[in-house]
């Protein structure tokens, strides 16, 4: 049974290793991650968030409920125009055990390549909420949390709420 890793756990700061082999264990992890994401009303979950330092993630299109399972995802281009959207993270919880939200500025449109669970290569251009989710989740694979992208004063405000949980 996988466990959610929370802000402060150093596993969230590791740079994850590429997946060479799509093992049954990885597929099982991804199924379990989809379940955890749904249980906690999340829209994405990356492997290090459950303590696995490998490059894979799951995410869900909020409107359609369509689930993406991405292995070795890579953002190959980012639009110069940025957009501000509210973000939270299942690893960054406040005193009420719910995610702490903050506005984050990121590129509005990105191109993404990944390997599917069938071993095939996929590519897509994503905008709106999907661009947001895929950037947040691929950041996790490089040990980056959304709070890192906030201006110092705003980050401190979020981290104060996180610390209050302990």
Q: Where on the chain is the footprint of Zn ion (CB under 5 A)? A: 89
14 DSSP 8-state letter: S
Whichever of 23 and 143 has its CB closer to Zn ion, that residue is: 143
Positive or negative: CA dihedral 60, 62, 65, 66: negative
Whichever of 89 and 93 has its CB closer to Zn ion, that residue is: 89
Q: Minimum distance from CB of 24 to Zn ion (Å)?
A: 26
Q: Which of 61, 125, 137, 156 is catalytic?
A: 137
Whichever of 91 and 115 has its CB closer to Zn ion, that residue is: 91
Q: Minimum distance from CB of 68 to Zn ion (Å)?
A: 15
Q: What angle do CA 148, 81, 149 make, to 5 degrees?
A: 5
Catalytic residue check, 137: yes
Q: What angle do CA 5, 53, 61 make, to 5 degrees?
A: 70
Q: Minimum distance from CB of 14 to Zn ion (Å)?
A: 14
Burial of 97 (0-12, 13-18, 19+ CB in 10 A): exposed
Residues noted as catalytic = 137
């Amino acid at each position: 049974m996988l466990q959610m890793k929370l802000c402060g756990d150093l596993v969230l700061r590791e740079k994850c290793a590429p997946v060479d082999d799509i093992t049954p264990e990885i597929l099982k992890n991804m199924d379990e991650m989809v379940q955890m994401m749904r249980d906690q009303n999340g829209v994405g979950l990356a492997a290090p968030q459950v303590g696995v330092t490998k490059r894979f993630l799951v995410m869900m299109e909020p409107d359609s409920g369509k689930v993406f399972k991405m292995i070795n995802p890579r953002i190959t281009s980012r639009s110069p125009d940025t957009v501000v959207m509210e973000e939270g993270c299942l690893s960054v919880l406040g005193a009420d055990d719910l995610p702490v939200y903050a506005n984050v500025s990121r590129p509005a449109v990105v191109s993404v390549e990944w390997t599917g669970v069938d071993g095939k290569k996929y590519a897509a251009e994503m905008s709106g909420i999907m661009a947001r989710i895929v950037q947040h989740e691929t950041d996790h694979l490089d040990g980056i949390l959304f709070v890192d992208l906030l201006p110092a004063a705003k980050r401190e405000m979020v981290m104060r709420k996180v610390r209050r949980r302990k």
